[in-house]
Structure 1
């Protein structure tokens, strides 16, 4: 998520970051005060000592502006004291007050509102008390000018406060935009992780099941051939095993192409292989029988078409259960029960094997089946029984999930 150009790079400080900006403002103030004072010197005369003091106070007031963002309150106090000493001693009445105005605005804009108000009030009171003791003809600041000074000081503090509020608001907008960008990136990473795990489960189920069956079938025929049977019997056993291996590998390749098709580019053709589902359960059971298992299926309730994602999940759960039986259980008999209810599909796979060794109960197969069930709001349990091992899964139908 890209930040807006007006937001990106803004901070709470009202001034551009960097010493160059501070130096530029200081130089501008020096030029203004110097030129104004030189013009005033053409019409007024001053002793050399007072003129020297005036130029020194001008240098102090203007030079302090360079540090106005680092120490805003201290700079405002220094410029105010410089002005307080400059105007009573100097007859030129140069614009040194500009330095205090900039310092007062900066203090307010940097969030130092209370000190800025206090300095403005102190300035107004000092001018008022200083002029109160003068006679009407000798006053340098009349009532109208005093009122204008009050409005001027209030305006500087108010404008600084507005600038501070605006900068803080833009900074908050920037932080929210950055937080939204981080959240979007986190969601993208989470989506990528979930997709990676989903593809890993598919590959595990497809390759694990088929390779396990091929391994069992090959081991069985090698065991038979190792006993030195009659050549005709050996040839028949080898032919039967190779036929089963061919069928299993063909199914594995078909499902692998279908799975890898999900990774195709957008301009590539979609895979034409159908997504596996419970309608192919008979072929799955046939391959398990070819590996030497006695597999029986039972259907409870009226079978119905299932949503493709849920149908695939049910198929994969049965497939992985048979894979685990083939790999680890040393079982002879497997029972598969499909239960169709109004709100869910139930799967029960039982075998008469050795129970659950660590590789069977804690491996990635059980974890993958559990994740598939939970993805549809369902649940899956796998545990030992008195006769062997049982896997039970409940998959809510889409409209009830």
Structure 2
């Protein structure tokens, strides 16, 4: 299954060049058998037009078979195959057998070596074959079969040279294409991993923000309900009602986040929360014993969905930190759209801190910074001189029509 996923992209089969499986454990039987048949039959046909060469006997057939059999190992041992096919071809030509498809085995062997990155080995094998051919054709022919053979014209060597250049050029082109393909595949895999990491971070931020806020409210209300259960049952009932409402909303938002894992790419069933739900957030904070004052500056604008969600989560996390870490029971939220092209958020509480991590220096603050940074914005958080704490965010906006926020 892992191997199958590695060869797909976006659910569709991903094309791979024929040389991309040089490290595959499988042997290329089909192509090797086909080449064997072509070389054997082609050599028989070529022999009819070269009556002055030695006839194809058993030794010639074995040499041709050895050359093509070596091609079975061209993906595992390309250097060995390049020199092996060149060597069998030299023996074949040195024995005076007819010219013909024997060169195909050398071409395929050297092609595999160059594509696998063993350029010098392939060039050396081809050069060895050409040098051997020159020695046999212009010097050793006197002592080698067939009897009465003569030296061929030097112009014939130009044909051999052109053949060698064609093999090297085609192999180098294939090697370059292979490197380009490998680079492109690496980029696609890196991009896919980056998208997966970003999606995991997004889901982690969503779950943290939803659960941290709701559980903080539930925790405060549960403590209040226990404290008032005997002395003020009606107030305890109100606390339990708040717990029920907060838990129901949290379950709905968690379910929405988890749905994106089960069916990635599908449109969400419910719209993502935005600043239009700020009154609900204020009401939840009030249920946790926190009084929130909201101030708006400038003309309201329609925010992009991502910016709207980020702004809502930043305010939500800041208020959660006030509930969890501040001794203050009041908070002030300012939504600033007065400056064109940007959204400003500021959340203040009067303090003092009830613990050493009053500023929410853990995952909550990290999540707020990541949300703002993803939109090109910034987050500043720190203690105020009077003992309170401030979270201030600035998020850039694209031009948008002025409507209700």
State the match for 1:349 in structure 2: 347
How far does the alpha carbon of each residue in 1:278-307 deviate from its partner, in whole angstroms, 9 at most, with x for none? 122122112212211232222222232222
State the match for 2:219 in structure 1: 215
How far does the alpha carbon of each residue in 1:327-380 deviate from its partner, in whole angstroms, 9 at most, with x for none? 233333322222212121111112213177358544221121111111111111
State the match for 1:374 in structure 2: 373
Q: Is the 2:326–2:358 Cα contact (8 Å) retained in structure 1? A: no
What are the ranges of 5 or more consecutive residues in structure 2 without an aligned counterpart? 1-8, 71-80, 112-121, 143-147, 401-405
TM-score normalised to structure 2 length: 0.68
Distance 2:289 2:160 in 1: 93
Q: Is the 1:105–1:159 Cα contact (8 Å) retained in structure 2? A: no
Say if 2:139 is the partner of 1:126: yes
CA distance change for structure 1 residues 204 and 98 in 2, over 3 Å: closer, same or farther? closer
Displacement of 1:326 in angstroms is 1.5
Distance 2:264 2:109 in 1: 58
Distance 2:271 2:35 in 1: 73
Q: Secondary structure at the match of 1:201?
A: helix
Say if 2:345 is the partner of 1:334: no
Q: Secondary structure at the match of 1:316?
A: helix
Displacement of 1:21 in angstroms is 6.2
Q: Secondary structure at the match of 2:139?
A: helix
State the match for 1:389 in structure 2: 389
Distance 2:107 2:275 in 1: 76
Q: Which has the higher contact order (CA 8 A, sep 6+)?
A: 1
Q: 1:276 aligns with which of 269, 273, 277?
A: 273
Alignment of structure 1 residues 178-197 onto 2, 5 Å:
178-197=182-201
Q: Is the 1:3–1:177 Cα contact (8 Å) retained in structure 2? A: no
CA distance change for structure 1 residues 373 and 25 in 2, over 3 Å: closer, same or farther? same
Q: Comparing both structures, which one devotes a greater share of its residues to helix?
A: 1
Alignment of structure 1 residues 12-51 onto 2, 5 Å:
24=36, 28=40
State the match for 2:362 in structure 1: 363
State the match for 2:240 in structure 1: 242
Displacement of 1:9 in angstroms is 5.8
Displacement of 1:240 in angstroms is 2.6
Displacement of 1:27 in angstroms is 9.4
Distance 2:32 2:164 in 1: 21
Displacement of 1:314 in angstroms is 0.3
Distance 1:153 1:305 in 2: 78
State the match for 2:307 in structure 1: 310
Distance 1:248 1:103 in 2: 75
Distance 2:281 2:108 in 1: 79
Structure exhibiting the larger radius of gyration computed from Cα positions:
1
Q: Is the 2:381–2:392 Cα contact (8 Å) retained in structure 1? A: yes
Distance 2:110 2:246 in 1: 80
What are the ranges of 5 or more consecutive residues in structure 1 without an aligned counterpart? 41-53, 84-94, 131-138
Note the aligned Cα RMSD (angstroms). 4.5
Say if 2:5 is the partner of 1:7: no
CA distance change for structure 1 residues 124 and 10 in 2, over 3 Å: closer, same or farther? farther
Q: Is the 2:344–2:393 Cα contact (8 Å) retained in structure 1? A: yes
CA distance change for structure 1 residues 32 and 193 in 2, over 3 Å: closer, same or farther? same
Q: Is the 2:325–2:357 Cα contact (8 Å) retained in structure 1? A: no
Displacement of 1:194 in angstroms is 1.8
Q: Is the 1:345–1:394 Cα contact (8 Å) retained in structure 2? A: yes
Number of equivalent positions: 349
Q: Is the 1:10–1:171 Cα contact (8 Å) retained in structure 2? A: no
CA distance change for structure 1 residues 64 and 363 in 2, over 3 Å: closer, same or farther? same
Distance 1:97 1:258 in 2: 73
Distance 1:224 1:187 in 2: 55
How far does the alpha carbon of each residue in 1:8-27 deviate from its partner, in whole angstroms, 9 at most, with x for none? 5687xxxx967976995899
Distance 1:184 1:257 in 2: 31
Q: Is the 1:3–1:178 Cα contact (8 Å) retained in structure 2? A: no
TM-score normalised to structure 1 length: 0.68
Q: Is the 1:331–1:353 Cα contact (8 Å) retained in structure 2? A: yes
